[in-house]
Amino acid sequence: MILRNSLKSILRTPVKTVFLVLLITAVTAFLCLSASTWAASIAMLRDRDEACTTIVTMEYLEDAGVYNGTDKEAMLADLVGIDFGAIASNKNVLLWQPMDVTVGIVEGFAPNSKGKEESNYCVLIVTELRRSRENGPFTGKLVETLYSAREYSAGRTIFVYDNPNEGIELDPDPDATYVIHAYNMGLYSYNLEVRLKRFSSLAAQEAGIDC
């Protein structure tokens, strides 16, 4: 009896019935889509957590501020007062490796975007530096690329310019080998042309390295 009355009610209002069926279908599809999106998001976040690691570098600002009148003693006192134990014991810290590093780079992490100023800086090992003409650049041979946004093969010719504005004027020994920090002026051209740049590091200076 109930089923018969229900069927009669449906047949009497076909338009209302069609809209009701469409509404039920839309709600069901929305719920299914939401559940699928939620499951995919959870899986994606889980995969990212397994694949990625966050590395935090705590920089001692005295190295960066050595020429800005930084109070070294006060900064060292602040450094001693930091509770590194709380950092190391935090549940979110997977590995704690305190170390003293003056300069370093993760392999393959050199900035290579034209919009980044850091992409032009490089650290190279060169030898056979000779000045080919007065007031011209030194011509030498590249031994190894230690850091560069663009990799260069050993043995290629390199042109090295002085930097009088920073008080850097070379008088190199052609038979000596040098490690240079420079600004690559030919990063996006064929020639390897660099201008020497001063590398400011108090830690390096205290270790006896002329920066």
Domain annotation covers residue 60:
no
Q: Which among 33, 51, 69 is the end of a domain? A: 51
Task: Provide φ and ψ at 115, rounded to 5°.
Answer: -85, -5
Domain annotation covers residue 73:
no
Domain annotation covers residue 109:
no
Domain annotation covers residue 105:
no
Q: How many CA atoms lie within 13 A of 23 on its CB side?
A: 6
Q: Which among 11, 28, 51 is the end of a domain? A: 51
Buried b (16+ CB within 10 A) or exposed e, 131-156: beeeeebbebebbebeebbeeeeeee
What is the predicted pLDDT for the residue at 47? 83
Same domain for 46 and 125, yes or no, is no
Residues 6+ apart with CB under 8 A from 5: none
Q: What is the pLDDT of residues 45-103, one digit of tens each?
A: 888 777 777 776 666 655 444 445 555 677 667 777 777 788 778 887 777 766 554 44
The span from the CA of 58 to the CA of 202, in Å, is 16
Give me the CATH number covering residue 162. 2.40.50.120
What is the predicted pLDDT for the residue at 102? 45
Residues lower than pLDDT 70 in the chain: 1-13, 56-72, 75-76, 97-118, 200-211
Tokens matching residue 4: 């018969």
Which helix (H) or strand (E) is 197 found in, with range?
A: none
Tell me which residue range forms the domain holding 18. Answer: 2-51
Total structural domains in the chain? Answer: 2
- Whether the CB-CB separation of 141 and 127 falls below 8 Å is answered with yes
Same domain for 46 and 122, yes or no, is no
Domain annotation covers residue 89:
no
Same domain for 121 and 197, yes or no, is yes
The span from the CA of 75 to the CA of 130, in Å, is 43
What is the predicted pLDDT for the residue at 67? 47
pTM of the entire predicted model: 0.46
Q: Which among 13, 34, 51 is the end of a domain? A: 51
Residue type, 175: D
CA angle 114, 119, 123 (to 5 degrees): 155
Same domain for 47 and 128, yes or no, is no
Domain annotation covers residue 92:
no
Same domain for 121 and 202, yes or no, is yes
Domain annotation covers residue 97:
no
